[in-house]
Structure 1
Amino acid sequence: MVGTFRPRRLASAALLGALALGLAACGGEYPNSTFNHNTDFNADIDALWDKLLFWGTIVFVGVEAALVYTIFRFRRRPGAPTPKQVHGNTVLEITWTAIPAVILIFIAIPTVRTIFKTQAKAAPDALQVEVIGHQWWWEFKYPQLGITTANELYLPNGRTVNFQLKTIDVLHSFWIPQMGGKRDLISNRTNYLWFTPNKDLPSSAWNGFCAEFCGPSHANMKFRVYTVTPQEFEQWSAHQKQGAIFPLAVAAPAPAPGAAAVAPVPTGTGATPVVLASTQAAQAPTDSAAPAAAPATVPVWAFPRERLEKEFTYTIPTAKLPVTVTFDESLLAKGDAEKGRQLYSKSSCIGCHAIVGTPFNMANVGPNLTHVGTRYTIAGGLYPNDAKHLAYWIKNAPALKPGSLMPTLGTGLTDPKTKMVVKMGGLSDADIADIVAYLQALK
């Protein structure tokens, strides 16, 4: 049976295709898109993408046009003779081999150039950042500055940053979509990635991810990136260089001459200015009659919370707490930071975490907590860093994040790994509230 051409069918198909394209274009904001020029890496990759899309489109249109022409020109017609059988056409074979070869040249040249450029060594004066992947959180070290932090990465606009990528366990992959680049962290090997945030880029917040399946909490291995001005980066790094700061008193007025320094708290953190004492403060010689010097501090600086919540809501964690974990939240308002410091110092916490400036507290199994009070996320970027979420996390981390290496610490709970009920060394809700107050005070 010979089919007949129906224009209505073709028009219906074309209309359906146009409608599908129209709906696909009706999207909202795409905060994790790579199609931007926030860094030189982004710009190079986007330029390569445009070239490949251009040539790919030409090939597609040409092939489809030839295919449609052939279908209609040589379609079966009533009474038409049987087509002549042929075994090939030398000119045609050479032509359709030569044309793709020429097109591949136009694709290969910019591709190879981009590969060599993005794989080249970073500039000698680049800011060095060591990225260490853990199951399931990120550790960031600035070896030139002597800074170690976790899950929150600060980068200065206009300066090249060279990332040294390592893992201490399984494969991970470091990816900041809006900054460009995705490179794997491979066991027993150091990979490198570099880019330069645009110097005219305003202070911004971005999402970072692990892009290589690495276990049950792969999807929960996130981090935050803050691109700031060089002046803001200097403020942040100066604060991060010093040891942990712990308040000796709260809500203190402006100090009189010679009184202890008052360091401002990050805008919008929910805290008030407090009298601060650095754990690295200089002390007067013991054989001197002079009084001890005032604690040496620098202003506390972190990315402003009001900007984060107003302009970068897509970087704020939205994970929900499991209903299986309970906590007496009324105790959080009564948390005693000094009691929390004492509890922390005598608990198993010191076997995993480091707080620079405190004795016998330099472990590196878990995230560095020196300035944890200035961070906006916990648990590998999964939860917001507030008293409520921090308390639940300390009480039963494995219930909040599958596979977490941090054990269950709440008294009377069953640890999912050991299957044992926590008794000796366990923490009550009141203990946890005190520790939360202490950790949030570490600015």
Structure 2
Amino acid sequence: MMNRWHVLKRLMPLLAGMVLLLSACGRADLSTLRPQGPVAEEQFGLMKLTILIMVLVVVIVFAIAVYVIIRFRRRPGDKSIPAQVEGNHKLEIIWTVIPIILLIILGVPTVKSVFGLAKDYTKDPNAVQVKVTAHQYWWEFEYPNLGVKTAQELMIPNDAIISIEAKTADVLHSFWIPSLAGKIDTNPGGNVNVMYFEAPKTGVYLGKCAELCGPSHSLMDFKVKVVDRASFDRWVAAMKNPVALPADAEVAELLNKQCLSCHAIGGNGGPAFPNLTGIGSRESVAGILMNTDQPQYKNEGTVKDNLIKWIEDPQAVKPGTLMPKVDLTKEQIEAISDYLAGLKLEY
């Protein structure tokens, strides 16, 4: 028994160091502890209140336990039997009333927030309306009042409420932007769930699927790009502009045959799979191949390089994706990738 205790004593500093080290892991754009909007801040406030109450209870309970263990321990040579107390009405009232008070302190702001955050802005003319459709393993964003549809990158202004109507095209998913708002499920069967949030700080935030949905669940990311109102209006206008097909007739034919049968570019193509309009301006390809050379990302490269990687073998990037491996030569893949990488939007 003593040997085990000595081993545990030696392991404690190591375990404490590991806890401290792991507590520093994570990303700023994937943390509910760094709220970047009023909805996230309100939810974070509830988290802090809950943690404060739990810490208070734990400290008091442990303090009482330690006091009792020390104060009423058996002394050497003491053979007497302690007084047998079978009940204490005063203590029973105290330990009943205190939890009730704590529950009220926690419950009142929680209920208030639950109903406050359940507001429906889908009919609000001043809110930006976005219909979110979850697919295995990508996200579709439609702006019904603006006549725009895109994928994998939610573009929003920083001066408006964002009203979300979320549904799924296949299995159960969950729409989640940790830094901006809580998560909301997208349930099969035509069910539509609503939520709202605001993002007053411009920047790029990470969104994820928060419900196990298949082999590439962990890779079902999307980006939220928050811009000022003028930039957002320019983006909307740019998304509506016609897009020219490749000047090279052979590449145009390949694009029409291999890509536009499923994807839309400008007014061309089909709506079944992610809209590729402006893909050259996006933060990522397929949601996870980052269009950057910043070293903190594992999957990074130029837009063209990422497109080549994706087209060559989609299953290697996202196992289970419905994107097939197309029968194209290396030169053909490079030509299509070069064209798609050039589809940039000015905003």
**How many angstroms apart in 1 are the aligned matches of 2:211 and 2:182?**
14
Query: Is the counterpart of residue 27 in structure 1 residue 24 in structure 2?
Result: yes
* Counterpart in the other structure of 2:311: 394
1:78-125 deviation per Cα after TM superposition (whole angstroms, max 9, x unaligned): 122122333322332222111111111111101101111111222712
Shift of 1:375: 2.1
1:133-179 deviation per Cα after TM superposition (whole angstroms, max 9, x unaligned): 00001111111111111111111112100011110001111111111
> Which is richer in helix?
2
User: After the TM superposition, which of the residue ranges 428-437 and 233-242 deviates more from structure 2?
Assistant: 428-437
* Counterpart in the other structure of 2:255: 344
**How many angstroms apart in 2 are the aligned matches of 1:162 and 1:151?**
17
The aligned runs of 1:216-255 (5 Å cut-off) are 216-246=215-245
Give the direction of change, closer, same or farther, for the CA distance of 1:37–1:373 in structure 2 (3 Å limit). Answer: closer
* Counterpart in the other structure of 1:405: 322
What code does the residue aligned with 1:368 have?
Answer: N
Size of the aligned set, in residue pairs, is 321
Shift of 1:185: 1.0
The aligned runs of 1:314-333 (5 Å cut-off) are none
What code does the residue aligned with 1:427 have?
Answer: L
Give the match's secondary structure for 2:70. helix
**How many angstroms apart in 2 are the aligned matches of 1:19 and 1:398?**
40
Q: TM-score, length-normalised on structure 2? A: 0.84
1:248-294 deviation per Cα after TM superposition (whole angstroms, max 9, x unaligned): 6xxxxxxxxxxxxxxxxxxxxxxxxxxxxxxxxxxxxxxxxxxxxxx
* Counterpart in the other structure of 1:52: 50
Give the match's secondary structure for 2:48. helix
The aligned runs of 1:75-154 (5 Å cut-off) are 75-80=73-78, 81-122=80-121, 124=124, 125-154=126-155
RMSD: 2.6
1:272-318 deviation per Cα after TM superposition (whole angstroms, max 9, x unaligned): xxxxxxxxxxxxxxxxxxxxxxxxxxxxxxxxxxxxxxxxxxxxxxx
**How many angstroms apart in 2 are the aligned matches of 1:230 and 1:39?**
17
Give unmatched runs, 5+ long, in structure 2: 1-5, 292-301
* Counterpart in the other structure of 1:439: 340
Give the match's secondary structure for 1:180. coil
Specify which of 319, 322, 329 is matched with residue 428 of structure 1: 329
Structure 1 contact 395–408 (Cα < 8 Å) conserved: yes
Shift of 1:180: 2.2
Query: Is the counterpart of residue 355 in structure 1 residue 265 in structure 2?
Result: yes
1:215-244 deviation per Cα after TM superposition (whole angstroms, max 9, x unaligned): 000011111111111111111111112232
Structure 2 contact 138–151 (Cα < 8 Å) conserved: yes
* Counterpart in the other structure of 1:5: none
**How many angstroms apart in 1 are the aligned matches of 2:312 and 2:321?**
13
Give the match's secondary structure for 1:435. helix
Give the direction of change, closer, same or farther, for the CA distance of 1:338–1:389 in structure 2 (3 Å limit). Answer: farther
What code does the residue aligned with 1:142 have?
Answer: Y
Give the match's secondary structure for 1:112. helix
User: After the TM superposition, which of the residue ranges 234-243 and 106-115 deviates more from structure 2?
Assistant: 234-243
What code does the residue aligned with 1:194 have?
Answer: Y
**How many angstroms apart in 1 are the aligned matches of 2:16 and 2:214?**
40
Structure 1 contact 139–148 (Cα < 8 Å) conserved: yes
Q: TM-score, length-normalised on structure 1? A: 0.67
Give unmatched runs, 5+ long, in structure 1: 1-8, 249-336, 410-425
Q: Which has the higher contact order (CA 8 A, sep 6+)?
A: 2
Shift of 1:27: 3.0
Structure 1 contact 151–381 (Cα < 8 Å) conserved: no
Q: Which runs of 4+ in 1 moved over 6 A?
A: none
Shift of 1:184: 1.1
What code does the residue aligned with 1:47 have?
Answer: G
**How many angstroms apart in 2 are the aligned matches of 1:99 and 1:86?**
22
Query: Is the counterpart of residue 194 in structure 1 residue 196 in structure 2?
Result: yes
* Counterpart in the other structure of 1:64: 62
Give the direction of change, closer, same or farther, for the CA distance of 1:341–1:42 in structure 2 (3 Å limit). Answer: same
Structure 2 contact 156–225 (Cα < 8 Å) conserved: yes
Give the match's secondary structure for 2:316. helix
**How many angstroms apart in 1 are the aligned matches of 2:288 and 2:305?**
15
Structure 1 contact 183–191 (Cα < 8 Å) conserved: yes
* Counterpart in the other structure of 2:72: 74
What code does the residue aligned with 1:429 have?
Answer: K
Give the direction of change, closer, same or farther, for the CA distance of 1:17–1:78 in structure 2 (3 Å limit). Answer: farther
**How many angstroms apart in 1 are the aligned matches of 2:235 and 2:74?**
75
